[in-house]
Structure 1
């Protein structure tokens, strides 16, 4: 299965921790996983098989 997670950034936080744990487990189970975000300190915790794309995703839309 192909799965994409989109979130504003990978800085310290509960949602970020959950996405990283979920993405890492899903690639271990053979899924193709991509994370799209503006990046951040927690990005290095992603499994090397998780595809990472940087896009300036804003928290608020005005």
Structure 2
């Protein structure tokens, strides 16, 4: 089961409740402030990788 919880007090409380009901579960925390920002950062990173200047190309 995956639960995408915030990393605030409410998210921590919800995570504790899930872990109590499902002890085999594992909580993953985003590197960013929340999961939405994590996804936006990842999207930005992918865009930058695919749209780098092609100055390094020589013929």
TM-score scaled to structure 2, two decimals?
A: 0.38
TM-score scaled to structure 1, two decimals?
A: 0.37
Larger-gyration structure (1/2): 2
Name the structure where helix makes up a greater proportion of residues.
2
Name the structure where strand makes up a greater proportion of residues.
1
